[in-house]
Amino acid sequence: MKTLSQAKKELLKFDAFLIKELERRARRILKSKPHLKEFICAMGSCFFTTDNIYYSYQGVVDIERYAYFKTIRDLLDEFDNTFHLSGYPMRFTATGKTVHDW
């Protein structure tokens, strides 16, 4: 039987894994969709930015809008209520460094 401390460590590892998975999926989308400039996640929201007004409202592309965001929506739908992934601050471009404090 696991101790509470062991279970907590496992949960923290899983949380870190989910954050990396969210980043991996967002970077894959950024690389495949050149009109998207950046992925931003913080304070309960995740979205992409673009300079192309056809795809956005004031430069923000809602992840609910297009089918190619399904991999991110699925991850958030399954785990966001428990692990609050959308509250983890991060922003990055397809190949840029991840920024956590801005």
Tell me the mean pLDDT in the region 37-55.
Answer: 88
Angle between helices 4-32 and 70-83 (to 10 degrees): 160
Q: What is the rounded CA–CA span in Å between residue 84 and residue 32?
A: 26
**Per-residue CA distances from 46 to 1, 4, 26, 56, 73 (Å):** 37, 32, 10, 14, 10
Q: Which residues, 6+ apart, have CB-to-CB distance to 43 below 8 Å?
A: 86, 87, 89
Domain count for the chain: 1
Tell me the mean pLDDT in the region 70-86.
Answer: 96
* Residue ranges making up the domain that contains 73: 4-92
For residue 98, being part of any structural domain is answered with no
- 63 phi/psi in degrees, rounded to 5: -70, -10
Tell me the mean pLDDT in the region 47-74.
Answer: 84
For residue 102, being part of any structural domain is answered with no
Which residue is it, tokens 């190949």? 95
For residue 42, being part of any structural domain is answered with yes
In percent, how much of the chain has pLDDT > 90? 79
pLDDT beyond 70 at 55:
no
For residue 97, being part of any structural domain is answered with no
